[in-house]
Chain A
Amino acid sequence: MFEKILSVKPEGTSILIIDAGDGSYRHLLSSYVQHRQQQQVSVSWVPCGQSADELPGTSGSSAGPIEQSDSSDQDWETAEDIGRQLEAALPLPGPPARLLVVRDASRLLHWLGPTALCRLIRRSCDRGHQVVLGVLEEAVPEEHLSQLRHYSTHVLSVEGAGRELTVSGTYRFKAGKVETATERVSLSADLVVTRVEPARPVPAVPAAARAAPAAPLAPGLTTFSLQLSETEKQSRDRLVLPYLRPEQGGGDSGPGTGQIFYQPDAADDWDEEDPDDDLDI
């Protein structure tokens, strides 16, 4: 799946890369940007402000105003300055398609809120460009993250350290198809994707199991139950059918033999005599 988004046309799409906390998403983001640059796509880096470590609520945070970043052409003092920079970074509609990269969206989410970023994503995609955002999952409230996911075409969750990454992705394609996949992505020293393979090998499914609805479904989808719980399965296995009687002193008769157990009652004439013995024919 990850190779698919590298090969399809990216115009009008957005990719959200969520880092689980190791900071390893930067390698994947840089690798993707490098891949697009090799395809002669113009890349614009959106200014992001302070580093994520300096955000309030994290260790080493600063409660002061936004400090000037290391970029010489940025002169921020308030969140409005960042907002204006964001508006200026929005490319004009029309070809050629550009790639907008937000290296650390968690900073912008802190200072501008999710609305500005969602608007950036929406407008860029409507104008035929592509947006790639990286965000630290720990630095962003889940509510803001869900709003970014709502506007993102592909959502990748990255784990791992170094250049061996585990990418869990939800991919939406133009036909409306949504696919999910967990893959191991290997990057070379110069951030080129060298290998993409499923995280867990897919076992061969026998024909009998394929026909059975074995995949567990989320509860609450319907008012009736489609599967049995463990207790229900055990209860069904323990059930003794009414026409079966417990063994009476003896082992298993084995297959192919049949025995009829008859319990005569008081009205039966059960004896060994031949009832036709007194016939006078």
Chain B
Amino acid sequence: MQEDQYGDYAHLVLSYFMSEAVCNRHRLLAASLDADPSKMILELPSPADGEVTAVRPPAGAADQRMTIAWRYQGLPQQPAPAAGRFGQHYDLSRYIEKSAIDAMDISLWPEDEPPGADHAAASDRLDSLLAACDRLASGAEPDTAPTVRRLAVRSLGSPLWSAPPELVVRACHLLRALLRVTGAVAMVTVPTHLWTDEALVARLRRCADISIGLESFQGTPAAQSPAFSEYHGLVHVHRLSARNVLAARYPRHPDLAFKVRRKKFSVETLHLPPELSETASRSQEDDSAPARKARPAAGCQAARPGAPLDF
């Protein structure tokens, strides 16, 4: 995901991704050099319609006597689905409780901050991140049911990484190869607006299965425009996954805008609002008053010039 100029909305989407991991009890790796990963996981938005509990609610009792479906009494119990409800609304004003976070299997990167880490080479730092991703994605769980592994990397390739964009592109390519063989899923936000080479940005997009860019209206003239008054920014879909299909299905309308509410992050097709003003479309005619006077009188003309019935 290409970050917006100030990164606020991209980080918000990443927090949704991590909250989804917590709600569905997936294994999670949170990685960032720009923010403290331990603070990232403590500030995850809570689901809007319920609380995330530390203990999974117990399944129905197996020794209930069935009176109607008695033929199924002796059949073995099906294992409960590992995932909870997929796709939820989150309340930005509440965080997930710390007890629920502590009960989760969440890994952080970097785990600690030794004095020499700041001066480590950029390639070593990226290799360390990939190694952490590999440990999470490839780790076996003999005692529990297999679950989805999620990797959340915030602001990869920011100035704190001191890595040239070529190394970042290489790291993303290696990460995708890792995800192919392990079945994990990763969301990586990259501040590409700091990159000067557009060719590298294009290469980065091709290193991901899904590439989306967010463009916020913060601090731009578009924020004052009535056309964009309902929205907070634009969504650019650069690439969609075409795995196991002939071609990816792109949205019919390429102009997408997003708006953020307390309990909802919605992406909608951008369309022109209805024209309610009587004078907006007539401004050019008012400017060309001499031209209007030269126009001959027509049959369908109102008594007062400039009236709404004139056409």
Interface of A with B (CB < 8 Å)? 113-115, 118-119, 122, 126, 143, 146-147, 150-151, 170, 172, 176-180, 208, 211-213, 215-218, 221-224, 226, 233, 236-237, 240-241, 243-247, 252-260
**Residue of B159, B234, B276 with most partner-chain A CB within 10 A:** B159
Sorted nearest first, the 10 A-B pairs with minimum C-beta distance are A178-B219, A178-B218, A115-B162, A147-B159, A253-B297, A212-B280, A247-B296, A118-B159, A211-B277, A222-B255
Interface of B with A (CB < 8 Å)? 6, 8, 34, 36, 118, 158-160, 162, 191, 194, 196, 215, 218-222, 224-227, 234, 254-255, 270, 272, 276-277, 279-280, 283-285, 288, 291, 293, 295-305, 311
Q: Is the CB of A115 within 8 A of B296?
A: no
Alpha-carbon gap, A211 to B279, bound state (A): 9
- How far, in Å, is B119 (CB) from chain A's closest CB? 8
Alpha-carbon gap, A218 to B223, bound state (A): 11
A/B interface sample: 17 pairs, CB < 8 A:
A118-B160, A122-B160, A150-B191, A170-B219, A172-B6, A176-B6, A176-B8, A178-B218, A208-B277, A212-B280, A221-B222, A226-B225, A226-B272, A243-B298, A253-B296, A256-B303, A258-B299
Q: Is the CB of B160 within 8 A of A211?
A: no
Alpha-carbon gap, A254 to B303, bound state (A): 9
Instruction: Chain A residues near B6: list those with CB within 8 A.
Output: 172, 176, 178
Q: Is the CB of B270 within 8 A of A222?
A: yes
One of B8, B191, B296, B303 near A246 (C-beta < 8 A): B296
Which residue on chain B has the smallest CB distance to residue A240? Answer: B295
- How far, in Å, is A109 (CB) from chain B's closest CB? 11
- How far, in Å, is B262 (CB) from chain A's closest CB? 13
- How far, in Å, is A90 (CB) from chain B's closest CB? 11
One of B34, B222, B285 near A122 (C-beta < 8 A): B34
Given A222-B270, A237-B288, A255 contacting B234 (CB threshold 8 A)? no
- How far, in Å, is A198 (CB) from chain B's closest CB? 16
Q: Is the CB of B295 within 8 A of A244?
A: yes
Alpha-carbon gap, A211 to B274, bound state (A): 13
Q: Is the CB of A180 within 8 A of B219?
A: yes
Q: Is the CB of A176 within 8 A of B279?
A: no
Q: Is the CB of B296 within 8 A of A245?
A: yes
One of B159, B272, B276 near A151 (C-beta < 8 A): B159
Q: Is the CB of B225 within 8 A of A217?
A: yes
Alpha-carbon gap, A151 to B160, bound state (A): 10
One of A147, A170, A221, A245 near B234 (C-beta < 8 A): A221
- How far, in Å, is A120 (CB) from chain B's closest CB? 11
Alpha-carbon gap, A182 to B285, bound state (A): 34
Known: A115-B160, A146-B194, A213-B280. 16 other contacts (CB 8 A): A122-B34, A147-B159, A150-B158, A170-B219, A176-B6, A208-B279, A211-B277, A213-B225, A222-B270, A237-B288, A252-B293, A252-B297, A254-B297, A255-B302, A255-B303, A255-B304
Q: Is the CB of B158 within 8 A of A244?
A: no
